[in-house]
Amino acid sequence: MKAAVIHGKNSITYEEVPEPPVKPNQVKVKIAYCGLCGTDPENLEGRFGLMPPEEYEKDRIIGHEACGVIAEIGSEVKNCKVGQRVAMNFRGSCGACYYCQNGMEHYCRNGRESTGSFAEYAVYPESAIYPIPDSLSFEEAAMLEPVSVAVHAVDRARVRTGSTIAILGAGPIGLLCLEVALKAGAARAMVSEPIAVKRELARRLGADLTVDPLNENIIEAGKKLTDGRGFDTVIDASGNIRAAKEAIYLADNCGTILWAAVYGKDAEIGVPPFLMYAKELTITSTFVSPYSFPRALNLLPKLELKPLITDIVPLKDIAKAFELHRSGKSIKILIKP
């Protein structure tokens, strides 16, 4: 099969590789689309904090926001069939370790990873497979994993009916958090984003106010929208350390600040403890999307997803996709094998 293979750091090539074998409890999927995640460039460049340094010296195939058609099933698979249209989680959980048995499947000690999906075929554990309806396009289905991230983020952010929310960063996760938060009942929303076309899309998707953080005072803008109080919930989806700190000052009394981005491994943010005391704030974070895929799948037909898909790039031109991402002008880039 053809795949995009990373060789060390900053080298990715389109080449022929063997198809991954299918174990008894696994499912092989012919990939229709795989989205480019913000962590993929970090992986390519050798700066993704969760990866041990020695892993960057190995040849590897990445890509995890995928959908497609089941091509083969293992002998122990019970709930899937060849020809099914599916979208996938990139990892399954064992269900038996301490974390799985205590509501933390995303920290499973025996997590069953998929093979990379920047390829014609990828293999997944059966527990990571989600059948999709015929009414849903493959382009929309490829958004399942990022939508699940937004669902988990909005859960963690404690968005309530009639509440106010600020979202910093209008990339795919920021915009999906906006849509999901509005579905969850948020009544007033501000989005901060330096790129004009992304601000415009945020307004189309329901933001009451958009601001340019490079040329406007987002604290003052937020106060005006919330009658001088600040926001019940503030989500930083930008990955920018300055924005992550500004989120603290955008929150109202008893507000929740959610850091919903991947930051540099050695980055630190100074948090004023007196402000935490005086305003009784909660700062929390989010990591992937445990227990969120079924609800995300229910939401897919209800969300505006196609406007977020700005580019579809053939797998053979994978390097172009990474260049587009670095430009900052694209929102969601899909790779098509």
Predicted local confidence at residue 56, as pLDDT: 87
Predicted local confidence at residue 53, as pLDDT: 86
Q: What is the mean pLDDT of residues 189-193?
A: 98
For residue 149, pLDDT over 80 is answered with: yes
Report the percentage of the chain scoring pLDDT > 70: 100
CB count within 10 Å of CB 275 equals: 12
User: How many residues does the structure list for the chain?
Assistant: 337
> In this predicted model, what pLDDT tens digit does every residue of 91-131 receive, in sequence order?
899 889 999 999 999 999 887 779 999 999 999 999 999 99
Give the 3-state secondary structure of residue 202: helix
Against a cut of 0.75, is the pTM above it? yes
Tokens of 78: 């019970």
Predicted local confidence at residue 28, as pLDDT: 98
For residue 204, pLDDT over 90 is answered with: yes
If you ran DSSP here, which 8-state letter would residue 119 be given? B
Taking CA atoms, 101 is separated from 94, 95, 96, 98, 108, in Å, by 10, 6, 6, 5, 9
For residue 52, pLDDT over 90 is answered with: no
Predicted local confidence at residue 112, as pLDDT: 75
Question: Domains (ranges, CATH) in the chain?
Answer: 2-143+305-336 (3.90.180.10), 150-285 (3.40.50.720)
**Residues 6+ away with beta carbon under 8 Å from 231:** 164, 165, 166, 190, 222, 250, 251, 252, 255
Tokens of 31: 């990939």
Cβ atoms 48, 151 nearer than 8 A: no
Predicted local confidence at residue 51, as pLDDT: 85
Q: What is the mean pLDDT of the chain?
A: 96
Q: What is the mean pLDDT of residues 167-195?
A: 98
